[in-house]
Amino acid sequence: MRGLIPDSFIDELLARVDIVDVIERRVPLKKAGREWTACCPFHNERSPSFSVSPAKQFFHCFGCGAHGSAIKFVMDYDRLEFPDAVEELAQTVGMTVPREGGRQAAPREDKTDLYTLLDAAASWYESELPRNTEAQAYCRKRGLDADTIRRFRLGWAPAGYDGVIKSLGTDPRRMNLLSEAGMVASNEKGSKYDRFRERLMFPILDRRGRVIAFGGRVLSSEQSPKYLNSPETPLFHKGRELFALWQVKQANQSLARIVVVEGYMDVIALHQAGLPIAVATLGTATTPEHTELLFRAAPDVVFCFDGDRAGRAAAWKALESALPRLRDGRQAYFLFLPDGEDPDSLVRKEGRGGFDKRIREAMPLSDYFFHELSHDVDMASLDGRARLAERARPLIAKLPDGAFRDLMAQELEKRSGARALLPPDPAAQRAVQRPMAVQRSLVRSAISLLLAQPALAEQVQPPYRFLRLDKPGVELLAELLDLVRARPGINPAMLVEHFAERPEYPSLQRLMAASVVGEADAQGAEFLDALQRMEDQATTQRRDALTAKSREGVLDSAEKAELRALLAARVRPPAASA
């Protein structure tokens, strides 16, 4: 989402950055005529189908369909949200991202001081770790080497109630920041004290590598709670963050699969063993926000849980969160560990190869889905098969429209004998109702040509006579013309980004990605011809409507005069050329 970033800034940013430079810093490009090509970074391929157009400032993959502006590329490649991608690009060209009120009364708060404070807290905890022999012994016992401790910025929160306060909260303003960051708590009398004491500390990083919270683990099983996380703060929402996602992104240029485990130490053990693909939720069940983050990171997600009752309950919650996000190309798997084992213990016993084999042999979501729904059902009886169908139908209906949804419905019918009877997918219905996005038309051709050469708008003067044409997309074409005329020099990517939060955005991106044949002059002639033909169609529509109305004898005097003029124009011979 754009949030509070002004549209004018997005325009200026896209005018300053060159999409070729942005992508080439991440993906090797080769010149191919007027464009640049590469093997697509978003799917596996042997021959290049990924194209970058300097003229359009747009990328498109003819293999997987990925496309967009420089902002969209950074979002997809670096796995950033829109505001973070904008900030990332702005830094490369020396721009500062402004904020505006928009629909909100106040601008977005500047949280720089909070980030700075939390980074200082992480550094302080890091400096305390070498000073505590018990913590050092625990790290050796868990097999943590110096590189792993440094990479995850592990630290130690010493005993006492005011270590962080004395080090970082030296004035009232700093104390307020410590409270806002969740680093201190208050007792009944209002006195402040350190939230974390005598715990091994795990900094939690956001998708840009900034410290936003902490998890603390006790060294003895006699202490409780075993893990303590920071509370919800302006920077930290545990249902939206994943431990070690930043480290996974740094370790993998291209990620085929990602593994979700339950504990911080499980994550770290897998990374240290040579499997830097593990993340963990932060003391909460897998949420829909978690699954979206996971699938944006990798097409295959493996949920790894204990095989006990609690582990299977957590796995089912993960399945329910994943179902609505299983678009074609995304896959989920479930790995259940032997009793008494966790990823940390297993990777020590079996090594990287053994645990990687377990990951590759994990149970596909479809198998787990039907196994769980039918394990207490008598599939030999009619009643049992009916029960399976009733349980499965509402869950399969949550799947996005596509091949996987169809196959799951077919599998249900095969197992139960009952038709799935799934409701139609709303997105598919909307697509049917939007003929402009799927049918070839004059309007669509005109928009494609305008997206290829926005400067063509300078040859069209309002009022636009084609607006009388009753066809989908006519008003959008007029809006595009007005936008280009109001912003001379706008490039195609800037033009499309103006519609980023509107329903027309996907259709415009597809039209931008479509090839427009011919040289610039030929494209201009084709564009003006399309507008003229639209005007002719509008005239024909109006004439036919008035003719039909005249048969009913309900035309007023103005309409009669208009009809006579239209009929005369139809039969009038063309003027002789000079």
pLDDT in tens, 83-141: 888 988 988 887 888 865 544 333 334 577 899 999 999 999 999 999 999 999 999 99
- Residue 378 within a domain: no
- Residue 576 within a domain: no
Q: Are strands 363-364 and 331-337 parallel, antiparallel or unpaired?
A: antiparallel
Same domain, 192 and 214: yes
CATH code assigned at 86:
3.90.580.10
- Residue 444 within a domain: yes
Which amino acid, residue 519?
E
Tokens of 131: 């000073």
- Residue 213 within a domain: yes
Rounded to an integer, the average pLDDT of 455-462 is 87
Ranges of beta strands (E only) in 233-272 are: 257-261
Same domain, 54 and 88: yes
Same domain, 155 and 258: no
- Residue 374 within a domain: no
Using the predicted structure, report yes or no on whether residue 436 has a pLDDT greater than 60. no
- Residue 463 within a domain: yes
CATH code assigned at 127:
3.90.980.10
Using the predicted structure, report yes or no on whether residue 565 has a pLDDT greater than 60. yes
Rounded to an integer, the average pLDDT of 314-331 is 90
Contact 495, 480 (CB under 8 A): yes
Using the predicted structure, report yes or no on whether residue 342 has a pLDDT greater than 50. yes
Q: What is the pLDDT of residues 6-39, one digit of tens each?
A: 888 888 899 889 999 899 888 888 888 888 998 8
Task: Reduce the DSSP state of residue 549 to 3 states and report it.
Answer: helix
Q: What pLDDT score does 289 carry? A: 86
Using the predicted structure, report yes or no on whether residue 401 has a pLDDT greater than 80. no
- Three state DSSP letters for 174-241: HHHHHHHCCCEEECCCCCEEECCCCEEEEEEECCCCCEEEEEEECCCCCCCCCEEECCCCCCCCHHHC
Same domain, 53 and 149: no
CATH code assigned at 487:
1.10.860.10
Same domain, 230 and 255: no
Using the predicted structure, report yes or no on whether residue 299 has a pLDDT greater than 80. yes
For residue 36, the surrounding DSSP H or E stretch is strand 35-38
Same domain, 30 and 150: no
Residues 248, 39: Cα–Cα separation, whole Å: 22
Task: Reduce the DSSP state of residue 140 to 3 states and report it.
Answer: helix
Q: What pLDDT score does 369 carry? A: 97
Per DSSP, the residues of 45-81 read -SS--EEEETTTTEEEETTT--EE-HHHHHHHHHT--
Rounded to an integer, the average pLDDT of 52-57 is 88
Same domain, 441 and 423: no
Task: Reduce the DSSP state of residue 439 to 3 states and report it.
Answer: coil
Band (pLDDT 50/70/90 cuts) for residue 349 is very high
Same domain, 129 and 47: no
- Residue 230 within a domain: yes
- Residue 180 within a domain: yes
Domain end residue (candidates: 326, 343, 369): 369
Same domain, 476 and 546: yes
CATH code assigned at 314:
3.40.1360.10
Domain end residue (candidates: 172, 205, 236): 236
Q: What is the pLDDT of residues 164-193, one digit of tens each?
A: 999 998 889 999 999 999 999 998 888 899
Q: Which segment of 112-126, 412-426, 477-491, 563-577 scores lowest on mean pLDDT?
A: 563-577
Q: What is the mean pLDDT of the chain?
A: 85
The range of the structural domain enclosing residue 220 comes to 112-236
Number of domains in the chain: 5
Same domain, 264 and 332: yes
CA angle 301–305–310, rounded 5-degree value: 135
Residues 457, 483: Cα–Cα separation, whole Å: 9
Same domain, 134 and 48: no
Same domain, 365 and 450: no
